[in-house]
A and B are shown apart, each in its own frame.
Chain A
Amino acid sequence: MFEKRKSLLYKYEYALDLMEGNEDVIKLLLSKNIIIQSGTLLELDDQFLKFFEEILEVNEEINTSYINENIRQVKDEYMLYYLQAKTDSERFTYLKRIKSALRKIGRITMRNIVDLNRNIDNAFKLEPNYKIKLSKLENHKLKLEAIQLMIVQTEKLLNEDELTFFKTATDEELKYIRTELILDLTESRQNLIETRKQIIEYINQVKYQTKFIEKLRQLKYLRDQFEIKHKTNIFEVLSNSHSIAFEVKPLYSLKLSIERLQQDEVYQLIKKVSSKYKSGINPKKLVSENLSEDDMKSETEKEIHINLREVKKNFAASGKHLFEYISEYEFPREVSFAERVTIYCQMISIFEDEFEVSESFKRQDQIEYALVYPK
């Protein structure tokens, strides 16, 4: 039932289910005023609710007045009574109360800070409405200040105001508790600095967002009214900004490198591109006739080659001059006079070193030739 304390509806039937149909327990609780029935709904008694929350340390509300009251009580009542008390047993009673109160202060302060942090986080992250979010955060900030004040007061109480008391009351445990409390408070104060930073950051963010949305709304209104050009400094802002983001996205078209296009690996690419590229022109391809059987037959053509070295071999032994020798030489095939003259010239030019060209000439038909002998 405690778990569902936040939902406002807790039906009688649920309770019955929980007790496995044992109505007596519920009736007993009702008669002791631990739970209250209103119509078909059940409610935990407020006092018990508080009690459970305290015990389980799940209270979400941050209650600074509770500690303030504690401090006041310790300071104005117990300590005073202690100092005024006549008997030891009386003093002991008050001392005990003071100790318990001081212990409580430390614990509650720490818990308050943890709660506060959680509440701030929740408010910032979960609250959808910006206005509520902002006021929630502002309220948390006030609470934070209250806790800070409380710490200051407590420290003052421990270190300045009641020095007389702490000097008079010589109790080991009290000293221990006091030191503990001072340490706790220092830690709390340090924690609060962080929390304070956080909350200011959150508030600023929320304020920025709220302001931004308001600005956007106004600009949108002016834009819809076609007044944005004249009623704002949009022109000025825009002409001061040379950001690329406003420009049309540029296309950097580079010329192809002819050299690269001639490389083999690019050829495949060109083929691929050209297959995609349809010009509409389809050149007719002329097909030649098939080759006949005869064309496929291989034929050999004989050519008798005149080996000039062979011719030269017997020249030295012949004792004739070169022209005469060539004219009478029996070549392996029919050789005309003009050819013989060509051979004569060829031989002179090829074997120039081995022949001796004399200064005397002879004539035959239309040709005048030099007499050439072997060396």
Chain B
Amino acid sequence: MSVPRQTGEIFELLSKGQFICSNSSDSRISKLYEIIDDQENYEMLYDYFLSINFILEKGDEFYCFSRKDESKADLERKLEAACKWIDIVDFFKTFDNAFASGYSFSPSKIAVEISVQAVLKSKADGLRSILKLDEKTPYLEVVSRIIKSLCDDGYAEIENEILKSYKVLSSFKYLEELITNINIPDEVQHEIPE
């Protein structure tokens, strides 16, 4: 029994912290998803990657890697990343409640929304420091940077170059899951104003 010939490609993507999503418009990636999603292939690849200390994690419509032993990223860095993601997800959910896997959006649309929604504007301002942008950067640029950060980490991808429309990938569920998993004790919940 030998592993599929796309194994190298799969490793290349996943080992860089990327996701392989079922709803990617890149036919190469959705093809890879189909290959991993085959039960037999999955088991084989799981064992294969396990022997080099990677766990092939099956998410809801996406695959990613995690380490078998202690992660190389320290807690500090993880916390920083998690907080950044909370901010970014919060920003997009403020823009539109329905922002989730499969959602289509464009930077200009968000920029327009910023100009009419004060809350969104303040959240965009809050993200400037995280993305290391100064006060004078126009909002469209800020939005583009937020989206770029989303794309770089594999949670969204460009759908149409001409229309500048982007699409949220199923890996976004990973972030949602992460947020859902954080537990806020009841007594703390009461302290938070409505």
Contact A222 B65 (CB under 8 A): no
A351 interface residue per 8 A CB criterion: no
Are A247 and B82 in contact, CB atoms less than 8 angstroms apart? Answer: no
**Is B17 an interface residue when CB atoms closer than 8 A count as contact?**
yes
Q: Is there a chain A Cβ closer than 8 Å to B47's Cβ?
A: no
A221 on the B face (CB < 8 A): yes
Interface residues of B in 72-109 (CB under 8 A from A): 72-73, 75, 77-79, 81-83, 86-87, 89-90, 93, 97-98, 100
- Chain A residues within an 8 Å CB radius of B19: 245
Question: Are B182 and A248 in contact, CB atoms less than 8 angstroms apart?
Answer: no
CA–CA, A69 and B150, complex, Å: 58
Q: Describe B's contact surface by its main secondary structure.
A: mixed
**Once the chains bind, are B179 and A247 in contact (CB under 8 Å)?**
no
Say yes or no: B15 contacts A244, CB within 8 Å.
yes
Number of B residues contacting the other chain (C-beta, 8 Å)? Answer: 49
Q: Does the CB pair B180–A248 fall under 8 Å?
A: no
In contact, A244 and B180 (Cβ under 8 angstroms):
no
Which A residues, 227 to 246, have Cβ-Cβ distances below 8 Å to chain B? 228-229, 231-235, 237-239, 241-246
Q: Is the CB–CB distance between B71 and A246 below 8 Å?
A: yes
Chain A binding surface SS class: helix
B57, A243: Cβ atoms under 8 Å? yes
Residues of B within 8 Å of A250, CB to CB, are: 15-16
A residues less than 8 Å from B72 (CB atoms): 247
In the complex the two chains form, is B15's CB within 8 Å of A238's CB? no
Residues of chain A within 8 A of B81, CB atoms compared: 245-246
Whether the Cβ atoms of A218 and B189 lie closer than 8 Å is yes
Given the interface pairs A209-B97, A213-B97, A222-B188, the reply to whether A244 lies near B182 with Cβ below 8 Å is: no
The answer, among A209, A219, A234, for a CB contact under 8 Å with B79, is A234
Nearest Cβ distance between residue B84 and chain A, in whole angstroms? 10
* A223 interface contact, C-beta 8 A: yes
Q: How far is the CB of B74 from chain A (nearest CB, A)?
A: 10
Q: Judge whether A331 is part of the interface by a CB distance below 8 angstroms.
A: no
Determine how close the nearest CB of chain B comes to the CB of A1; give it in whole angstroms.
Answer: 36
Q: Indicate if A216 sits at the interface (CB-CB under 8 A).
A: yes
A-B contact pairs, 28 of them (CB 8 A): A212-B179, A212-B180, A213-B97, A216-B90, A219-B90, A219-B182, A223-B87, A229-B79, A231-B184, A231-B185, A231-B188, A232-B188, A234-B182, A235-B79, A237-B183, A239-B78, A241-B78, A242-B67, A244-B54, A244-B64, A244-B67, A245-B19, A246-B17, A246-B78, A246-B81, A248-B77, A249-B16, A250-B15
